[in-house]
Structure 1
Amino acid sequence: MPDTAFWKDLSFLFTKSAYFTIGGAYTVIPYVANLVTEKFLWLTKTQMIDGFALAETTPGPLVIVLAYVGFMAGFNHFDHSYAMAAVGLAATAYFTFLPNFALIFIGAPLIERSQKNKAIQYVLSLVTASVVGVIVNLAFYLGQGILFPTTSGSVNLDWKALLWVAISIFLLFRYRIGMLQLILLSLVYGFLLYLLP
């Protein structure tokens, strides 16, 4: 396959993210999003937000957004080639999930023995606290990309997005509407914005 540097970076990034990010998809996604949009420039910030939105609205684990990242990285890097995008998706899935299976088979016997260890329980409680911080970081990352979509030097607030954020918060806290209803209302709002320029 052409461009060995791209494939080396892709495989190393997703292997590293599988081994060294603790706390699930909410810790992996900000780490990967920052690298693929800022360092490697494989995706735009808008494409990353689209992938996160897609993963949030479909059933299945949130970590599937990484497969989307691999697909879009191959698609963008190889001049909109669907074949290379499919290879990027497969490579990303392989390097994301293979280390987890290895860790499960190696570490499963140790977990049984460590559940009563107070020191390990304390360390895990610290990890849980840091995961909350990473989730807040992800909310700021997504919020910045939605409310300030342009990356130019000037600050351009998207008033339509800000209006919908305010309406959503009001509906959630005042009327306690369900998440499914809010998603459907958001789809209608986005569709109306698309139809009415």
Structure 2
Amino acid sequence: MAGTDLHHPPFSELTRVSARIGFLSFGGPAGQIALMHRELVDERRWVEEDDYLQALNLCHLLPGPEAQQLATWIGWKLHGWKGGVIAGALFVIPGALVMLALSILYAFAANLDWFAALFLGIKAAVLAIIVQALLRIAGRALKTPIQKGMAVAAFAALFLFNAPFPLVVLAALALGAWVGAKRPDLLALKAGGPVGEGHPRPWRASLIAVLAWGAIWAAPMVAVLVFLGRDHVLWDIGVFFSQLAVVTFGGAYAVLAYMAQEAVTGFGWLSAGEMADGLGLAETTPGPLIMVTQFVGYLAAFRAPDPFNPLLAGVLGAVLTTWVTFAPCFLWIFAFAPWMDRLQRLPALKGGLAGVTAAVVGVIANLALWFALHVLFAVVDAVAIGPVVLQVPEWASFDWRAALIAAVAAALIFRFKWGIIRTLGVAAAMGLALGSLA
């Protein structure tokens, strides 16, 4: 365990260790956070245990992947902005490169029968993986009746009434903040100490961070606007994923359904099955699961390449997506990290986070049901009954192969406690074996 004799590593060592973590960061945020704790708190004693946990709480308050933001905070604490940039970037770059290579392969091989069979297995296994995430997050987040009610309300708003995802997040944030300020016990919040007047208020540092990283965030969008215009697919990609970066509370699973529905039915960039394929690919790569956005950006640009060739357009789409997804993460950390002590003591802010976390359970339940319908059935119709919009599958289009693979994957995960990579491998093999069967 970390003690008071902390080590301050040179920048070169921070770079080396950050690269190692980036290549080994499999297993989702829980595994990534545990890996960083072992490497940086327990073994190297670069960060105090209490500071690590407080920073993790801050990252939960911010939109974006909390593990990547935690890596950025650690780098910032050790070597300022330079350390934050290198630690945060190296957490993302290995997975981004792997995801880009897989996206290129997918785009060129998607019409091959064996490739489709392979991903039949992968997308079926994704159903079991999402259910596992749903149960894990629900067990951690739903401690009180009001939290359970918020989860049910979020699910109903999304699945039955097709409510906009950002509106659901903002409503949960506002309700949670109000309850946290008035009755924190209803959200199982622990009372925090008073906000000390003696703590510094680093407005200047935060303002510089917002201006600098806001400019970095916007730079590629300015280039797209000047050289390609608002009608180009790259502009749509940049605007959509920039908006997504602001509302990505509660982890990648929370926004996947919203992203999938917009990308599939709103923009027509890819199909629901391809969205499930992308999630399966993201599960197999190091780094944050939100890297699935790169897959969507690649396919969107690949299929509307003018004036570029498809490969170049796809790479530009993937790079732009990754840029506007992760540049805001650096902005949040560099702007808010100096305020960490104060933020930890605001009951309304803690309540807002608890409200969003509870709503995220309903959001992921919506994602699980949406993916299940589109993976298990070839045809799903939207039927409006007054304000309610139901997703109704055509039972004749039921795919028994996907259902069988999903059941096997669920047994491997829940009964035999297999890991994600191993389970996806078995599911992919089953997809190849069953792919030729109607």
| TM-score for the superposition, normalised by structure 2 | 0.42
Q: Which residue pairs with 1:4 in the alignment?
A: 230
**In structure 2, C-alpha distance between the alignment counterparts of 1:74 and 1:172, rounded to whole Å:** 35
Q: Which residue pairs with 2:328 in the alignment?
A: 99
- The structural deviation recorded for 1:35 is 0.7
Q: Which residue pairs with 2:398 in the alignment?
A: 157
Q: Which residue pairs with 1:169 in the alignment?
A: 410
Contact 1:46 1:149 in 2 (8 A): no
**In structure 1, C-alpha distance between the alignment counterparts of 2:268 and 2:373, rounded to whole Å:** 18
1:77 matched to 2:318 = no
Greater RCO (CA < 8 Å, at least 6 residues apart): 2
When residues 171 and 41 of structure 1 are mapped into structure 2, their CA distance, relative to the original with a 3 A threshold, is same
Contact 2:373 2:380 in 1 (8 A): no
**Structure 1 runs of 4+ with >4 Å offset:** none
SS in 1 for 2:357: helix
- The structural deviation recorded for 1:172 is 4.1
Q: Which residue pairs with 1:193 in the alignment?
A: 434
Letter in 2 for 1:4: R
Contact 2:250 2:360 in 1 (8 A): yes
Matched residues, percent identical? 35
Q: Which residue pairs with 1:139 in the alignment?
A: 368
Query: What is the aligned-residue RMSD (CA, Å)?
Result: 2.2
**In structure 2, C-alpha distance between the alignment counterparts of 1:90 and 1:128, rounded to whole Å:** 30
Deviates more, 1:64-73 or 1:143-152: 143-152
**In structure 2, C-alpha distance between the alignment counterparts of 1:99 and 1:177, rounded to whole Å:** 36
Unaligned runs of 5+ in 2: 1-226, 382-392
**In structure 2, C-alpha distance between the alignment counterparts of 1:196 and 1:150, rounded to whole Å:** 18
**In structure 1, C-alpha distance between the alignment counterparts of 2:255 and 2:238, rounded to whole Å:** 15
Q: Deviations over 1:138-173 (max 9, x none)?
A: 212221221013357843111111122233334444
1:116 matched to 2:345 = yes
**In structure 1, C-alpha distance between the alignment counterparts of 2:401 and 2:365, rounded to whole Å:** 23
| TM-score for the superposition, normalised by structure 1 | 0.88
Contact 2:234 2:301 in 1 (8 A): no
Q: Which residue pairs with 1:58 in the alignment?
A: 285
Q: Deviations over 1:106-143 (max 9, x none)?
A: 12223321212222222211111112222222212221
**In structure 2, C-alpha distance between the alignment counterparts of 1:63 and 1:164, rounded to whole Å:** 25
**In structure 1, C-alpha distance between the alignment counterparts of 2:242 and 2:374, rounded to whole Å:** 26
Structure with higher Rg: it is 2
Q: Deviations over 1:80-109 (max 9, x none)?
A: 711111111111111111122112211222
Contact 1:43 1:76 in 2 (8 A): no
